[in-house]
Structure 1
Amino acid sequence: MEQVKGIYKEYYSSCDKLLSQYSQLSKIESTTKVPKVFITLGFSAVVFLFILLNIGSRFIVNFIGFGYSAFASIRAIESPGKDDDTQWLTYWVVYGLLNLVEHFSSFVLYWIPFYYVLKTAFLIWLMLPNTRGAEKLYNSYVKPVYLNMKTSTQEKTK
């Protein structure tokens, strides 16, 4: 039991440290006297429940896919390094392709149980800096198709 408490304290303190960089959460914490970790977990649980019960899930999932990514993209543009720019550019390419495919196959996707839950998990995987999912998909699928199209176009113009 002590081991579980130690793990809990470790995760709690790392989440609290991460969330402390957002001043709005600190203001809410001081107003409500509820720790910002619990506020974030509660809000995430409500959002997940809405997605699971299909209450505004299309909007919520698209907001997740767009909202944080737009904020992170602006932050990447303003940062001096180029590495984060590449991550977010590849994310937007993959996200755009995903939305294009989804638009033309929505009649099939409607029948997939928990589609929006799966899409949310997929979008989070795409955007997380730890997983670099968008870069993996881009390098594995999008880039080879693009290079193939580029090569065939160049051959036709010769």
Structure 2
Amino acid sequence: MSTELLTKFLTLLFGYAMPALECFKSIEQRPGRTDQLRFWCEYWIILVILVMFDEIAGALISKIPMYYELKLAFLVYLWYPKTRGTDIVYETFLQPLVMQYQPSIEARLQYLRANAGDILVFYLKNFTERGYDLFLRALDYIRSQASRGSRTRSFFSFRGDRTERPSFVDDYGVGGDRRDAARHRRPRSGY
């Protein structure tokens, strides 16, 4: 478990934070150097595709031994000054693939942008309806579980009958202390 946590921390540090700082420096400190800016833009494009792959194939990825260690090594390979793997991966694999499918990708994205409001309303409405149903089912479950217990059954009763609710004052009868309550508790009828 600690190895996985360390690997995730190193991935965040070397895969996200350090490249983000270098990208920031490329933009702010050397505004005339478009080659550095291009390099970091290529890196972020590759990283986004890798993150999308992780999200889509998450269940399968967990079965690959040492996947996160390999991912960390790949991310360092991408930005490391001696290897500059970003140039190789982007120009060899990513650029030709995206250029081939760019028109259909753009058409689908334009459709999504145009219908984003409708899609959002649909999902919000669907979520609220399902969320309300889930909330009611959770309340029913709590009520059914409470009906198994003697004191909690009447306390969680939704009938509003005050006579069935337990009196917690009775538990602390004479001394007001839980230890004394067991000695001084009055027997209840109907349980």
What's 2:62 paired with?
110
Name structure 2 gaps, 5 residues minimum.
Answer: 107-191
Q: Does 1:141 align with 2:97?
A: no
Question: What is the deviation of 1:153?
Answer: 8.0
What's 1:40 paired with?
none
8 Å contact kept, 2:7–2:72: no
Question: What is the deviation of 1:152?
Answer: 6.6
Residue by residue over 1:44-91, the C-alpha shift from the partner in whole angstroms, topping out at 9 and shown as x without a partner, is xxxxxx5xx212533441332110001000111121311111110100
Structure that is richer in helix per residue: 1
Name structure 1 gaps, 5 residues minimum.
Answer: 1-49
Determine the C-alpha separation between the residues in 2 that align with 1:123 and 1:133. Answer: 9
**Aligned match for 1:70, one of 20, 28, 40:** 20
Determine the C-alpha separation between the residues in 1 that align with 2:4 and 2:18. Answer: 21
**Which structure has the greater CA radius of gyration?**
2
Greater RCO, CA 8 A, separation 6+: 1
Instruction: In structure 1, give the amino acid aligned to 2:8.
Output: R
TM-score normalized by the length of structure 2: 0.49
Determine the C-alpha separation between the residues in 2 that align with 1:102 and 1:152. Answer: 23
Q: 1:153 to 1:94 in 2, by over 3 A?
A: closer
CA RMSD of aligned residues (A): 2.1
Instruction: In structure 1, give the amino acid aligned to 2:38.
Output: T
Determine the C-alpha separation between the residues in 2 that align with 1:149 and 1:112. Answer: 29
Residue by residue over 1:19-44, the C-alpha shift from the partner in whole angstroms, topping out at 9 and shown as x without a partner, is xxxxxxxxxxxxxxxxxxxxxxxxxx
TM-score normalized by the length of structure 1: 0.58
Question: What is the deviation of 1:92?
Answer: 0.3
Residue by residue over 1:78-131, the C-alpha shift from the partner in whole angstroms, topping out at 9 and shown as x without a partner, is 213111111101000000100000111111111122222111111000111221
Q: Does 1:95 align with 2:51?
A: no
Q: Does 1:125 align with 2:114?
A: no
Identity of aligned residues (%): 26
